[in-house]
Amino acid sequence: MSAALAGVRIAFAAFDPFPNLKGSGTRISRLAGALAEAGAHVTLLTLPGTCQLELPPGVELRPQRLAEDNYLCRALAFRDAVARELVALRPDVVHFRGPFEGQAAAAYARGRAVRSVFEVNGLPSVELRYHYPAVAAATSFEGKLRASEQRLLSEADAVVTQSRATERFLVLRGMRPDHATVIPNGADPLPLGACTVTTNDGPVRVLYVGTLAAWQGLPDLLVAMRRAARTADVRLDVVGWGQKRWRRLLERHARRLKVGDRVAFHGAVPRTELSGLIAASDICVAPLRRDRRNRVQGCSPIKLFEYMAAGRAVLSTSLPCLQEIVRDGETGVLARASHSHDLAARLGELAADAGLRARLGARARRELADEATWQHRAAALVTFYRERLLASEYTAA
């Protein structure tokens, strides 16, 4: 695979801060690194990062420093900056993650007859209302976003997405059924020595990793903690980034439920530290809500793969996109989404049975090692580029 894309110049545009400590930062780094390892020269066009990261060999980072504070003004300025960079870079392929940079990418690809890839992880027409509540009332703005997204789904030479659920959603949005390639997220298995499940008499350690956003279902988890605490000594660590108001609301909710002494909130941590926190836990959770974002659009939470990589017992909610990753009773436990009673019951089952936790975690780790590592995802991406996106160029050669 080392020379599969030798000499191909790829501009990878993402309206995201990079590097960052969120799942988007991990995916961008891993996919860009896979393309570079296959011989391509990859230039990342992003917003300035929020942390430090050593870039993979063959990857160049060009952060676009913008003065605009308003979201839409910043997005349009980023689009214009990407357009200028593409003219200077003259790439063979433009790989983009959103509609704003996508407008610049599509215009460049049309004008220069080069390939374009639309990588869809979440569409702003769905996502923005969760970050900016006023967007939900701005129906005309949402309509323009949807039209732009649909145009790009049609114009791009190919689409990459993260789950079968997201692929189905994009077909509902007008994408051709055969147009997308699904490449989920992944993780690298931890050494077996770091995956030992403890059976001491201390509290059962529950861990949540991710943003503190409403769609993640943390209020349901706090209610479940209150119920589970009636029969088990459970402690919850919440690790991840969130707006200050989100964290304040969650802390207030925990106090109202009288579980404040059982819950600790931490900020985001580097991936190098995160694996240790996961390995030190007993149960790892992903209590995503049953809302439009998760149920209809779908997602591929990196945290689930990282939990499995450490051989932890996984507790998640039963949404179509999550059922693609976790099999109930085999590689984890699934509870009804947006149903704190069921979440509490399943949490209690895991807290009471260390043997069950060990069996689920061991099976999850084996399955991930067999088919869901970042190496598997890298091979799938390079195969997609070589055989689907660039096949005509190779044939002509």
Which homologous superfamily does the CATH classification assign to the domain defined by 9-186+373-396? Glycogen Phosphorylase B; (3.40.50.2000)
Return the CATH architecture of domain 192-371.
3-Layer(aba) Sandwich (3.40)
Instruction: Give residue 185's pLDDT.
Output: 98
**Alpha carbons 41 and 29: distance in angstroms, whole number:** 14
Instruction: Give residue 293's pLDDT.
Output: 93
- Per residue of the chain (397 residues), give pLDDT as tens: 568 999 999 999 999 999 999 999 999 999 999 999 999 999 999 999 999 888 989 999 999 999 998 999 999 999 999 999 999 999 999 999 999 999 999 999 999 999 999 999 999 999 988 887 776 667 888 899 999 999 999 999 999 999 999 999 999 999 999 999 999 999 999 876 666 665 567 899 999 999 999 899 999 999 999 999 999 999 999 999 888 999 999 999 999 999 999 999 999 998 888 999 999 999 999 999 999 999 999 999 999 999 999 999 999 999 999 999 999 999 999 999 999 999 999 999 999 999 999 999 999 999 999 999 999 999 999 999 999 898 755 433 3
- Asked if 53 and 70 touch (Cβ cutoff 8 Å), the reply is no
Instruction: Give residue 396's pLDDT.
Output: 37
Instruction: Give residue 394's pLDDT.
Output: 43
**Alpha carbons 180 and 166: distance in angstroms, whole number:** 10
**Alpha carbons 270 and 259: distance in angstroms, whole number:** 27
Domain boundaries, the chain: 9-186+373-396, 192-371
Intrachain domains 9-186+373-396 and 192-371 with the same fold = yes
C-alpha 38: how far from chain center: 23
pTM of the model: 0.94
Q: What's the per-residue H, E or C state across the chain?
A: CCCCCCCCEEEEEEEEEECCCCHHHHHHHHHHHHHHHCCCEEEEEEEECCCCCCCCCCEEEEECCCCCCCHHHHHHHHHHHHHHHHHHHCCCEEEECCHHHHHHHHHHHHHHCCEEEEEECCCHHHHHHHHCHHHHHCHHHHHHHHHHHHHHHHHCCEEEECCHHHHHHHHHCCCCCCCEEECCCCCCCCCHHHHCCCCCCCCEEEEEECCCCHHHCHHHHHHHHHHHCCCCCEEEEEECCCCHHHHHHHHHHHHHCCCHHHEEEECCCCHHHHHHHHHCCCEEEECCCCCHHHHHHCCCCHHHHHHHHCCCEEEEECCHHHHCCCCECCCEEEECCCCHHHHHHHHHHHHHCHHHHHHHHHHHHHHHHHHCCHHHHHHHHHHHHHHHHCHHHHHHC
- CA-nearest of 118, 215, 208, 183 to 324 is 183
